[in-house]
Amino acid sequence: MEAVQTANPPTFETVWAILQEVGKKQEETARQIGKLGSRMGEVIEHMVAPNLREKFRELGYDFPKANNNSDVSDRTNNIFLEIDVMLENGDKALLVEIKTKPSTEDVKDHIERLEKMRKYADLHGDKRTFLGAVAGVVMTDSVKEYILKQGFFAIEPSGETFNIIPPYNKPKEW
């Protein structure tokens, strides 16, 4: 019977070097996926934002001013928030959160965002009423239901444009 020769098993150092290289590749892949997700969000914002004022005008809301990617950074009062799109007039401001696939957690985060905005506005003498909306490309029925129950407008695609679904009752005001 012949003896079977096997190659020497890899050393600890060799295995460790391979694991480090795999880790670097995983980090790079995660970074690239993150960038892709961010770019997808930007595409969605650019698809929805330009027509929002006209669509809300059809619902009886006139917002002559629109701001994309606004933020509040009030270090004195520890209030920080980012707003995907904010539509404004003299009496009201509508904060729109745009997601590829919104979740109930995203809606809860938007409620917190509106609470922070109300606090910031009160501290600075801004008496406008704040409203909320959540837009999504892929929106499950349960998430849409949750959005509407929270007093937000739901914005979802419809053919070449999108629909705005008003909340079940009166829109919640902050």
- pLDDT single digits (tens) 24-65: 878 777 777 666 655 555 655 566 666 788 889 999 999 999
* Mean pLDDT score across all residues of the chain: 86
pLDDT by residue (tens digit) across 71-93? 999 999 999 999 999 999 989 99
Q: Enumerate the β-bridge partners of residue 96.
A: 85, 133
Residue 92 lies in a domain: yes
Residue 80 lies in a domain: yes
Whether the CB-CB separation of 132 and 151 falls below 8 Å is answered with yes
DSSP three-state, residue 174: coil
Residue 23 lies in a domain: no
Whether the CB-CB separation of 157 and 172 falls below 8 Å is answered with no
Count of structural domains within the chain? 1
* 156: number of Cβ within 10 Å: 18
164, two tokens: 């705005």
Residue 4 lies in a domain: no
Pairwise pLDDT comparison (167 vs 21), residue with the higher score: 167
> By residue range, what is the domain housing residue 83?
49-165
Residue 160 lies in a domain: yes
